[in-house]
Amino acid sequence: MALQGLNNQRVRNFNKRVLCALLYREKVASKSTLARLSQLSIPAVGKILDELQEEQRVEHDPHNLHSRGLGGGSYRIAAAGQRILCLNVSPYLIESIVVDGLMTPCSTFTPLPIVATTPQAMLQEIVQIYHLHSRQQGMPLKIALSIHGQVNPLTGVSQRMQQAPWEGPVEIKYLLEERLKTEVLLDNDCVMLGLAEKWQNNANLQDFCVINVDYGIGSSFVINQQIYRGSLFGSGQIGHTIIDPDGSLCACGRYGCLETIASLSALKKKARIQLKVTPWAQQVMGIGYLYVEQALTEML
Ligand SMILES: [Zn+2]
């Protein structure tokens, strides 16, 4: 629902986001359709679309969608004009790819293993990756960050990164925007997977759940097309639910969390131990294990 009234920058930006979201959903839409869906007046929608066109975020096609249409042509999200650097960040790996306004890849997908013992080291790696891609693309880039752990998407603060050797919050959005002078959007990695499913997979249902099993285990829920956040943005953090009170020690300091049993790192560890304690398994599983090890390593 768009905001009406107060004609200030914040409201304008909010309404721009509303229209962009509608255009992503509808793919192509007329001014009157956008006015109906956003509940803004047609002149107000026209003004916002003009600005979005000036910013090269929206394209205008003078042809009408339907022959009996009232005229005015149609609008769609502009492919050219803006590039977004998408990063999936954890303290041991940063994956990166550049996409255009329609989410079409404009670079190769690059996984880069890192060793970040401090937040500063991790931010430095992100800055270097940004400069590399920005040079390759020949333009400044916006940044979309998918961050492991608990994230406040409103303030852009990483509240807790369980796999990191540091504790406490990191002002990722603020620090990166200061250094790179560009717009940074960030959210939890599982939330980003849920959003990708929502926007990229047309076959998805109204309500669905994404479960991400890698080094740890996380999940996100999309209900009525909206991410369910829960209190303190902790929804979906299922990896540290205690499944076996007598289980092994978890990185979080407790015992028997789901991650100690079912994450890929836990499964790899179990497979290795099994091979050591069961000599016949080395022969029977030898070749199979190589494949499993390879597959798990590629997934991690
Ligand atoms: Zn735990």
Nearest to 229 by CA among 201, 263, 195, 183: 195
Q: How far apart are CA 248 and CA 268, in angstroms?
A: 15
The pLDDT value recorded for residue 39 is 94
Let me know the angle formed at the C-alpha of 216 by 160 and 286, rounded to the nearest 5 degrees: 155
The β-bridge relationship of strands 150-152 and 184-188 is: unpaired
* CB 293 within 8 Å of CB 300: no
The pLDDT value recorded for residue 126 is 97
- CA 252 / ligand 1 centre spacing (Å): 4
- CA 243 / ligand 1 centre spacing (Å): 10
Q: Among 78-92, 103-117, 182-196, 203-217, where is mean pLDDT lowest?
A: 203-217
Reply yes or no on whether the pLDDT at 38 is more than 90.
yes
- CA 294 / ligand 1 centre spacing (Å): 26
- CA 289 / ligand 1 centre spacing (Å): 27
- CA 41 / ligand 1 centre spacing (Å): 51
- CA 260 / ligand 1 centre spacing (Å): 7
Name the pTM for this structure. 0.75
At 7, is the pLDDT very low, low, confident or very high (cuts 50, 70, 90)?
low
| Stretch 45-58: mean pLDDT | 92
Instruction: Tell me the residue type at 156.
Output: G
- CA 97 / ligand 1 centre spacing (Å): 30
- CA 249 / ligand 1 centre spacing (Å): 8
The pLDDT value recorded for residue 30 is 92
Q: Look at the block and give the residue holding tokens 């639910």.
A: 241
Q: How far apart are CA 187 and CA 229, in angstroms?
A: 11
- CA 258 / ligand 1 centre spacing (Å): 7
The pLDDT value recorded for residue 205 is 72
The pLDDT value recorded for residue 199 is 83
At 89, is the pLDDT very low, low, confident or very high (cuts 50, 70, 90)?
very high
The pLDDT value recorded for residue 106 is 93
Q: Is 36 left (phi over 0), alpha (psi -120 to 50) or beta?
A: alpha
- CA 47 / ligand 1 centre spacing (Å): 51
- CA 272 / ligand 1 centre spacing (Å): 21
Reply yes or no on whether the pLDDT at 271 is more than 70.
yes
- CA 251 / ligand 1 centre spacing (Å): 6
Reply yes or no on whether the pLDDT at 104 is more than 60.
yes
Reply yes or no on whether the pLDDT at 233 is more than 80.
no
- CA 189 / ligand 1 centre spacing (Å): 18
| Stretch 107-119: mean pLDDT | 95
- CA 116 / ligand 1 centre spacing (Å): 21
Considering Cα of 150, then 156, then 159, then 163, what sign does the dihedral take?
positive
- CA 290 / ligand 1 centre spacing (Å): 29
Instruction: State the chain's maximal CA–CA distance in angstroms.
Output: 78
The β-bridge relationship of strands 83-89 and 142-147 is: parallel
Nearest to 145 by CA among 97, 107, 178, 181: 97
Reply yes or no on whether the pLDDT at 71 is more than 70.
no
Q: For 142-198, write each residue's pLDDT tens digit.
A: 999 999 888 899 999 999 887 788 988 999 999 999 999 999 999 999 999 998 888
At 285, is the pLDDT very low, low, confident or very high (cuts 50, 70, 90)?
low
- Token pair belonging to 233: 């943005």
